[in-house]
Amino acid sequence: MEHITVIGAGVIGLSIALALQARGLPVRVIDREGPAAGASAGNAGAFAFSEILPLASPRMIRQAPKWLIDPLGPLSVPPRYAVRIAPWMWRFWKASWPAQVQASTVAQTALMRRSKDALEPHLEHCGLTHMLRHEGQLQVYEGEAEFRAALPGWDAREAAGIPFVHLKGDEVSAYQPGLAPSFTHATFTPEWQAISDPRDYVCVMADRFRANGGEITIARAERLVAGGVETSDGVMRGRIVLAAGAHSHHLARTAGVKIPLETERGYNTTLPKGAFELKRQITFGGHGFVISKVGNGLRVGGAVELGGLDLPPNYARADAMLKKAKRFLPDLDITGGTQWMGFRPSLPDSLPAIGPLPGRPDVLCAFGHGHLGLTQSAGTAAIVADLLTGQDPGIDLTPFSPARFSRLT
């Protein structure tokens, strides 16, 4: 039996490799750098199953002009990248139309349910249950107006059966002492979960895969060819799972398929132990960043810089978030941190590409999860394993089809 080659050793790729291995399929993994070398290492560590709303929305379109004026704000496009990203932005705008937002929300909700159901079996199989934190998440708002503007999103979550509780005044400080008094309202999502350290999480998965006989090869996937993939180590034959994150669309292009994937460059600073007594992840939605526990420290990060793969990092964005975090949590010690920048693979409608690559039924796509790669990793893995073993994935994959906006080059 020919091997299945998974391209990508991030959280998506390794979750898929383990799911295939558990079903008795011969599988190997290739990656240009090795496990957890990309966005899987530097994320906020959350299983954000309540985040069913697409990034593209009428509210985002209204906010975008104000945010884009600030080069260090929650959303930015480097001037020298603006022309190149214009077609993607046009698709993003179309995805913000109400009917498309509703359709994307329905699809995202289904994938979140599938992912939530798949998480516990995945953790148990990998021996990772001990790394899960059950502390919930707090979204905070500066004033009544910001809180009211967020209510339609909470109505959508309520319709999807997601539990939450709105807080006001002293109730907010009871959930998280030390917040600046400007944060007058908040919403607590009790079922929000987090992993203790996303890099360690992926590395343990890699160890488990190897211990079960799997092979992880550090090699660059150069192009998709008939019957396999050409790599810097030679041609690997057999079926392919394309889970190369922000590099996936370049490989799809070698098979003659153009998919509008863009790179959200995310920045963060990880602070050492003792920086602040954080009770749970805090989301500052109006400013586009979060503070979360990672290992023994804290991670301050987020925001969206649509700047592709090649421009140099702009760590002033990480500095700006850190200064805001200090203002919002006055007792936060912002010294001694480590900065990071990584690439989040994003499609215009906020839904990943899961399913066969157009014209290449031997290539299954599993990329484009944006901010939700960790969250949707176990669900995506279960779906891909179902597809490769001829089982019903238990979810309508039409909204996630790689063909939904692709075209032949």
Q: In which band, very low, low, confident or very high, does the pLDDT at 409 lie, cut at 50, 70 and 90?
A: very low
Determine the average pLDDT of the residues in 70-82.
Answer: 84
pLDDT (tens digit, 9 = 90+) per residue, 225-277?
A: 999 999 999 999 999 999 999 999 999 999 999 999 999 999 999 999 999 99
Pairwise CA distance, residues 313 & 199, whole Å? 21
Nearest to 342 by CA among 135, 80, 40: 40
Strands (E), 80-214: 132-133, 137-141, 165-168, 185-189, 193-195
What is the domain partition of the chain in residue ranges?
Answer: 1-56+96-132+192-259+347-409
Q: Is the pLDDT of residue 321 over 70?
A: yes
pLDDT at 193 over 90: yes
Closest CA to 234 of 216, 246, 222, 245: 222
pTM of the model as a whole: 0.96
pLDDT digits (tens, 9 = 90+) for 1-49: 689 999 999 999 999 999 999 999 999 999 999 999 888 888 999 999 9
Q: Dig out the tokens for 253 from the structure.
A: 């292009």
Report the sign of the C-alpha dihedral through residues 53, 56, 58, 60, in that order.
positive
Per-residue model confidence as pLDDT tens digits over 358-381: 999 999 999 999 999 999 999 999
Q: Which two tokens stand for residue 94?
A: 């179309």
Superfamily of domain 1-56+96-132+192-259+347-409: FAD/NAD(P)-binding domain (3.50.50.60)
pLDDT band at 406 (very low <50, low <70, confident <90, very high): low
In terms of phi and psi (left: phi > 0; alpha: psi -120 to 50; beta: otherwise), the region of 146 is: alpha
DSSP 371: G
Across all residues in the chain, what is the average pLDDT?
94
Residue range 99-115: mean pLDDT, rounded: 96
Please, what is the Cα angle at 307 between 150 and 407, to 5 degrees? Answer: 90
- CA distances 294 to 130, 283, 372, 404, Å, are 14, 15, 17, 36
pLDDT above 80 for 144: yes
Return the pLDDT at 407: 53
Looking at the DSSP bridge assignments, the partners of residue 255 are none
Give the integer Cα–Cα distance in Å for 12 and 15.
5
Q: In one letter, which amino acid is 114?
A: R
Distances (CA, A) of 259 to 62, 348, 406: 26, 10, 5
